[in-house]
Amino acid sequence: MKRYLILEDGTIFNGLAFGSQRESSGEVVFTTSMTGYQEVLTDPSYCDQIIVFTYPLIGNYGINRSDYESIRPATSGIIVNEHAEFPSHHEGMQSLSSWLTAKDIPGLYGIDTRKLTRKIREHGTLKGKLSNTIDNAPEIINELNASPLIVNQVMKVSTKTPYHLPNSGYRVVVVDFGVKSGMLRELSRRLCDVIVVPFNTSAADIIRLQPDGVLLSNGPGDPKEVQPGIKMIQELLSHNIPILGICLGHQLLALACGADTEKLKFGHRGSNHPVKDLSTGKIALTSQNHGYSVTEHSLAHSDLELTHQAVNDGTVEGLKHKVKPAFSIQYHPEASPGPHDSNVIFDEFMSLIKTTKKEGLMHYA
């Protein structure tokens, strides 16, 4: 069956359909990841986005039981040059196409993904629609131009009720803005007693849980839309509770401390982004997925200092509070494309908790 990608600038790509037969719209973004497509498609940070894979062949090892980052994928669609109809891997349970059908996610293949990626890099991310017909293309283009980007994605992907992953170590409350299972796995590996709470949980409710630390998770969309999270972080800081912010959580910590954020032209999405640790000079290969960034010049109006910086474009990749026990990173340390370059972030969080408890700085009252 034929399928088309219609972009807001009037460009139309002709290809073939796979996965779900339904049509869908979203922000068209690209990822440079060569592997890990299952993790990408189940990452809640891709909520309401149509993902273009720059690697030409996707799906060759199928879908397995262990690589999910969330149970319910939130992406609007997938675009590839070629998909493997007959995958081969000892852990594979089904093909990518059959999985997309089961999850009701439409796919498009057989187009020049290099040309599409170059367009996004030149013009920035574009709104688009995966359509099964071009008979009404002018109307679709007008609708895309007239409609704003979808908002409130965090509300869609965050857990609705708290849940507990019991263990014997430090109690860590994870604020779920769209958390990936890999982050919970890393905390569990360090024997943390994990409690996951919805994105709009108040600081008072978190404090009642008497956490040893709070992790602000990754998530989709514009951080400035998550006002409850910003207020909550400000209150937690006043109690000297150790905080680690990751991706969206990093941006929210920055906003809570008086810094600012901005939308990037085409974002950082992929598993090969080099980041420099300014304290050691070491470079780590990182996994990233974000369309917004903390503006470096705004840090002068905050109590935050720059700790990590992107090698490719110099954007802010890590922050540390000058007074409070809080730090953050823009990339995803649990994804480990290095493969273990950035996993140490969780160990640093454990050390921060230990030091804060030893010095008796934290208070719940």
- Catalytic sites, residue numbers: 247, 332, 334
β-strand partners of 214: 173, 243
Residues 6+ apart with CB under 8 A from 257: 237, 302, 303, 304, 321
Q: Which residues pair with 129 in a beta bridge?
A: 6, 25
Q: Which two tokens stand for residue 179?
A: 């958390």
Distance of CA 81 to the CA centre of its chain: 24
- Residue 337: asked if its preceding bond is cis (omega within 30°), the reply is no
Residues 308, 247: Cα–Cα separation, whole Å: 13
- CB of 130 closer than 8 Å to CB of 48: no
Residue with tokens 């939308």: 263
Orientation angle between helical segments 248-256 and 227-238, nearest 10 degrees: 60
The dihedrals phi and psi of 160, each to the nearest 5 degrees, come to: -85, -25
The shares of helix, strand and coil residues in the chain, as percent rounded to the nearest 5, are 30, 30, 40
Provide CB contacts within 8 A for 98, sequence distance 6+: none
Q: In what side-by-side order are the strands of the sheet with 171-176? A: 163-165, 193-198, 171-176, 213-216, 243-246, 326-329, 316-321, 304-310, 261-277, 283-294
